[in-house]
Structure 1
């Protein structure tokens, strides 16, 4: 990222997520596919809100989240990369999700899709998507309770839980995504200006090609 957002730290309230839809979990599982092509057009802010909630949203007053976490240590952070005209109501750039307030905090004011594509071994889907969710982990949060087991198993396992939630929510919303794990860790961390976070997965999201 080359420029820090002037409004960094100011929370952007997201639309309230819903807990009911016309599609069953079973039908979403049956229909789920990895899709690397998108129709032109943005992803609506309400859909981004729903996807972020499915990934790491809080689901009760005690702060439990949509995906399980070893010892409720919650080592994962979710970032939202928005392209030019990618999400109506959001400027292009990078945002970090805040589960407790169900909000976004601007991190950078410039889109990073092209840089993420380069860091992902030139996978076109990473740049083509109007919006992408990036899952990163801070292993120390879980290692305080579970030692080396955190980085070896628990944090990657938790990222897998989140990824399937994203896939099923994408299916329910009629969108398209694919889990991208082929990237250079150091390069992605540099693009995102991570310090303690370890990049674990990228989910490019766009309109489905029927």
Structure 2
């Protein structure tokens, strides 16, 4: 990690779009306008995936044993950062645009290189292993799916479009994001404003 600066996001808000509407409108969209997302939009998306919702630390996505074996990394044209759920902020991990490298690691899927925001959902099964043993990777993967769906539905509520991407070289993505040992990417979510 090349820097330790922090970004603070505006507090998450409550929208007015009914859940049923977001479910109906959610589609995988792979083309984006070039407009960057605001800090409020990025923060709201990350909060939807892993935000803290209770005084005891409960989060938006269910977690086996409330052990939270996920990390979220947000990548924009200017930087990459690791979401900090407790303070609703992010630690900047690099001040470079990693999207092109991630696109190559994602088997040249253009959506990865073009999206104004990429969110990498990363599993840390060891956090769950102490309680659940060999089932820890399964539970981490299930939670990754919960978090990804939350983010995708939040994107719809914000009038954004997104696509979940599971086809990528795990080792290459881990290297590009400079993930610590024991962390493994599970999902890439490309998000942006609709092109038209």
TM-score range, shorter chain: over 0.9
CA separation in 1, counterparts of 2:152 and 2:9? 20
CA separation in 1, counterparts of 2:195 and 2:22? 17
Question: What secondary structure does 2:87 align onto?
Answer: coil
Q: How does 1:7-46 map to 2 (within 5 A)?
A: 8=4, 10-19=5-14, 21-46=15-40
Counterpart among 153, 171, 181 of residue 168 in structure 1: 153
Counterpart among 199, 203, 210 of residue 185 in structure 2: 199
Asked if 1:55 corresponds to 2:49, the answer is yes
CA separation in 2, counterparts of 1:200 and 1:104? 20
CA separation in 1, counterparts of 2:31 and 2:92? 27
Asked if 1:124 corresponds to 2:110, the answer is yes
Counterpart among 139, 142, 146 of residue 154 in structure 1: 139
- Aligned position for 2:2: 4
Which stretches in structure 2 are left out of the alignment for 5+ residues? none
- Aligned position for 1:87: none
CA separation in 1, counterparts of 2:127 and 2:84? 17
TM-score (norm 1): 0.90
Aligned length: 195
- Aligned position for 1:188: 173
CA separation in 2, counterparts of 1:193 and 1:165? 25
Structure 1 stretches of 4+ with a deviation exceeding 3 A read none
- Aligned position for 2:86: 100
CA separation in 2, counterparts of 1:113 and 1:173? 22
Please tell me the root mean square deviation across aligned C-alpha atoms, in Å. Answer: 1.1
TM-score (norm 2): 0.97
Q: Is the 8 A contact 2:34 2:115 kept in 1?
A: no
